[in-house]
Amino acid sequence: MSSNRIYIFDTTLRDGEQVPGCKLNTDQKIELALALEKLGVDVIEAGFPISSPGDFASVEAVCKAVKDPVVCGLSRSVEKDIKTAAEALKYAKRPRIHTGIGTSDSHILHKFKATREEIIERAVAAVKYAKSFVEDVEFYAEDAGRTDNEYLARVIEAVVAAGATVLNIPDTTGYCLPEEYGLKIKYLYENVKGIHKCTLSTHCHNDLGLATANSIAGVQNGARQVECTINGIGERAGNTSLEEVVMILRQHPYLGFTTGINTKLLNPTSQLVSDRMGMPVQPNKAIVGANAFAHSSGIHQDGVIKQRETYEIIDPLEVGVDQSKIVLTARSGRAALAYRAKEIGQNLTKDELDRTYLKFLEWADRKKEIDDTDLEGIIAEARELA
Ligand code: KIV
Ligand code: ZN
């Protein structure tokens, strides 16, 4: 395990695609998988092959299409699932079977009507069976977020002994607080025999808006793989957002973590996923939302025009956005007006700016946003008054 390289496991095509109304066909899955490969993700979870013949075909097609990333297929701890996943992955250059079982009391008692010992036996059997097909086997302890740490450590130790290479600790219901999730990873890292030859992985859901914070807490406590999706798309409130994790690690270099992501492709990839899935990105979404680099209040606009870093911690070019936007609204000041006028080729003198600004405020109180055409009209009206 490298001490500071964080592996990005993208599950847009599996957990992300579980969003109602987000069905992708095989061609779209291939297109997105190629985009993810270009983006530099380490692992692509391409689907859940037993779930439908279409998903099987998509996983198989993704394996044929990409060459660098590991391609992963999901399965329950059920022989039929695992065998089907192995068949779907047969063309992968670097196949991984992702198998697992629920470990919280709620899963054990209500979903499986089993005992804790039986769950460990099933988990071990699943990993051993998966190992008979591929070398790289990832184990997930579903609802690990609500599983007590001592029992979780016993499950993980048993599957490590059975040959699991990656240990996924999902906060399936998005329940944990960052400190709690971080301590869970730390507890496993410090107490599970054999864990140091494996990779610990985070897989966080966003039900309380904490998926990204929990994933980072996991990394700070020993996890070296982060499972995430583009735009944070996924079940219910979604999964950890890939672009957020990558940029947090990049913007805080003193933490010492790196990823293999080409950050300039974050925005184009976000738009592609949003378009193919028919899921618009919320405008205020960090990194990839339409307003992530837009400034509309006078004080902020003045600051950004004088020096971009005053109100921006990321250079938009670094994430594939051409430039920050100065949006003209009734909250804008003279600095923003002069700046935008200059952008459309109108260098205003001080008197012109004063007159134009008064006209501008009349318009801006009537209209939410003043665009370039409006601005041309405002400047012309102000000049007529001169
Ligand atoms: O959230 C979850 O627990 C999952 C597992 C199937 C990995 O998506
Ligand atoms: Zn999940």
Q: Please, where are the H alpha helices in the chain?
A: 26-39, 53-65, 79-88, 105-106, 116-131, 149-161, 178-191, 211-220, 242-251, 266-277, 298-306, 334-343, 350-366, 372-385
Whether residue 203 has its Cβ less than 6 Å from ligand 1: yes
- Ligand 2 centroid to residue 352 C-alpha, Å: 58
Q: Whose CA is nearest to atom 6 of ligand 1?
A: 142
What's the DSSP call for residue 282? Answer: P
| Distance from the alpha carbon of residue 220 to the mean position of ligand 1, in angstroms | 21
Q: Is the CB–ligand 1 distance for residue 202 below 6 Å?
A: no
Give the sign of the dihedral formed by CA 267, CA 272, CA 275, CA 278.
negative
Distance 227 CA to ligand 2 centre (A): 9
What is the reported pLDDT for 23? 84
- CA–centroid distance, 192 to ligand 2, in Å, is 23
Instruction: Quote the tokens at residue 260.
Output: 């293999």
CA 286/CA 101 separation, integer angstroms: 33
Most ligand 1 atoms within 8 A of CB, residue of 99, 203, 228, 233 to mutate: 203
pLDDT at 73: 98
pLDDT score at 22: 85
Q: How far does residue 250's CA lie from ligand 2's centre (Å)?
A: 25
Report CA(321)–ligand 1 centroid distance (Å): 32
Ranges of the chain with pLDDT below 50: 1-2
pTM greater than the 0.90 cutoff: yes
Check if the interface score ipTM surpasses 0.90: yes
Q: What is the pLDDT of residue 204?
A: 98
Q: What is the reported pLDDT for 68?
A: 98
Q: Which atom of ligand 1 is nearest to the CA of 11?
A: 8
Ligand 1 contacts CB of residue 15 (under 6 A) = yes
Quote the ligand 2 centre to 202 CA distance (angstroms).
Answer: 10
Give strand pairing partners of 75: 99
Q: Which of 236, 244, 200, 235 is nearest to 220 (CA)?
A: 200
What is the rounded CA–CA span in Å between residue 268 and residue 142?
Answer: 32
Residues 304-319 pLDDT 10s: 999 999 999 999 999 9
Report whether 364 contacts 337 (CB < 8 A).
no
Secondary structure (3-state) at 326: strand
Q: Is 138 in the pocket of ligand 1 (CB under 6 A)?
A: no
Residue position matching structure tokens 């059920």: 78
Ligand 1 pocket, 170 CB below 6 A?
A: yes
Looking at residue 2, its pLDDT comes to 46
> Cβ(142) to ligand 1 under 6 A?
yes
172 lines ligand 1 (CB under 6 A): yes
Find out whether 229 and 16 touch, Cβ atoms under 8 Å. yes
Instruction: Give the position of tokens 């007529």.
Output: 384
The amino acid sitting at 300 is H
Q: Do 171 and 142 meet the contact criterion of CB atoms below 8 Å apart?
A: no
